[in-house]
Amino acid sequence: MYKTTAMVILSLGLLACERETYTTWSCIDSAGIKYSMVLKKAQMQFQDRQFDYCGSLGPVSYFDVKCPAQIQSSSKSF
């Protein structure tokens, strides 16, 4: 009886778990310096800073600490 109850509680607890989804990029600039970038949900972590996703135009995505009205003016794009 107790084993069944424990298994049910454990199963319900595991149903509440969520897998974290993110993408990691390793980039090299023109000077040959390697940088890591992590895209996680609607945010980008780059050089120990965090940027919000501002939007995309065609194949280009834009990120900034505070998104400008014109997303093309964002501080980061790729």
pLDDT digits (tens, 9 = 90+) for 4-22: 554 444 454 545 556 667 7
Average pLDDT over residues 25-54: 88
Q: Please check the confidence at residue 56 and state whether its pLDDT lies above 90.
A: yes
More confident residue, 45 or 15: 45
Whole-number Cα distances in Å, 38 to 12, 42, 50: 31, 11, 9
- Residue 50: is its pLDDT beyond 90? yes
pLDDT value, residue 9: 45
Q: Rounded to the nearest 5 degrees, what angle is found at the Cα of 44, between the Cα atoms of 37 and 48? A: 65
Q: For the full predicted model, state whether its pTM sits above 0.75.
A: no
